[in-house]
Amino acid sequence: MDKLFAAIGKLSLALAAAAKVVLGLIIVAVVADVCVRNLGLRPLAWAVSATEYGLLYAAFLPMPWLVHSKGHVFVEFLRKALPARARAVLEKLVYLACIGVCLYLGSVALSSLIGAVSGGEYETRSFDMPKWLVFLPITLAFYLSALEWLRYLLGHDTLYTLDPLEMEGL
């Protein structure tokens, strides 16, 4: 199981790195479009659509890594107010809720992805994009995040060993 979670962690890190590349490409596209417009040339017709798709990817690709690296938001005051036994129960319930939400949203995204593939659907804007590519990062993000939450639930790592103030700025 440790090897599986290690592989998922590496995949999550790779997706987060891909999101950084996507953000860099968005910056280049926006700057290029602004420069072209300021020079009085024809604007880049594809820049707005590509930026919108890029923002979708940049939002979802790093999601599993945020769970893995404990970079998400959590509320500490309630947890600290509870006795140790109740705290452990609360943590398990939170993990189960997060897994459930991720699996549900992942299944909705997967259903949409499968429908788009089987229907041969395209997003038509300034360029055509297969619609399944819109649902791919969403599906990956939610299913991988569910696996990262499962890692915490099974005790392979604990989410709450650090003070959140120590994690600030990561």
**Per-residue DSSP letter, 129:** E
Is-contact 55 20, C-beta < 8 A?
no
Residue 169 has pLDDT above 70, yes or no: no
- What is the separation, in whole angstroms, between the first and last Cα of the chain? 27
Residues with Cβ within 8 Å of residue 57, at least 6 apart in sequence: 18, 19, 22, 137
Residue-number span of the structural domain to which 15 is assigned: 2-167
Average pLDDT value for residue range 101-113: 98
Q: How far is the C-alpha of 113 from the C-alpha of 75, rounded, in Å?
A: 33
pLDDT band at 82 (very low <50, low <70, confident <90, very high): confident
The whole-number average pLDDT for the span 61-78 is: 83
Number of domains forming the structure of the chain = 1
Q: What pLDDT score was predicted for residue 71?
A: 76
- Checking if the pLDDT of 136 tops 90, the result is yes
